Amino acid sequence: MNYRKATLADLDTFFDFFAKSLKKYFLRQEGSTDDYTSLALDYMCDEDFNKSYFKKGIRSRNKIIYLAIDDNNICGYLIVEKLDGGVSFGEWLAVDNNYQKRGTAISLLKMWENEVLKWGGHMVYVYTEKRNLEFYKNRGFTLMGLVPKSWYGADHYLFYKTLQEPKEENYLREYLKKRKHRTCNI
């Protein structure tokens, strides 16, 4: 298994896997408030999380897509936003059924957490569905609570994980460098 960040060259293959994974893993069952309706998933792929959304995110370097690849095939991904005030948000995590319970999702999360620490961040957070509560608890995440019938009418559970104590010299590292340079030139 190979783990790496997606590039623009991966966009078409990634997006195909992403769109299929939404329908496969996030389609609401009759009478449930977990997950999304088929129409909402179509809307997400066509409007909210379309190929242009990911292209813009990769280009701006504000969106990171971690890929799990086996035999040149994408078998999992984790989509995250870069730091904002020391915190990074995980948008989507999905792993192909054939690679579940083999450490793929754990490896993607670890990759993200390690990078957040390199960026100077101190916390990560995610929203997830009811079926994933134990998975995140077992990975050291703390459940903050339920947001009922939120995005597209689905129930979401908010988790966070503190990676280190928040320190301005860490999460404002780049700003402090610019500020010092600017001050020296005045």
Could you give the domains of the chain? 2-184 (3.40.630.30)
Quick one: tokens of 100?
A: 């579940």
Q: At what angle do helices 11-25 and 51-60 cross, to 10 degrees?
A: 130
The DSSP-derived string for 41-100 is HHHIIIIIT-HHHHHHHHHHTSEEEEEEEETTEEEEEEEEE--BTTEEEEEEEEE-GGGT
Residue 27 scores a pLDDT above 90: no
pLDDT at 10: 96
Position 130: which residue type? K
Average pLDDT over residues 105-119: 97
pLDDT for 22 = 87
Q: For the residues 84-98, what does the mean pLDDT come to?
A: 94
What is the reported pTM?
A: 0.90
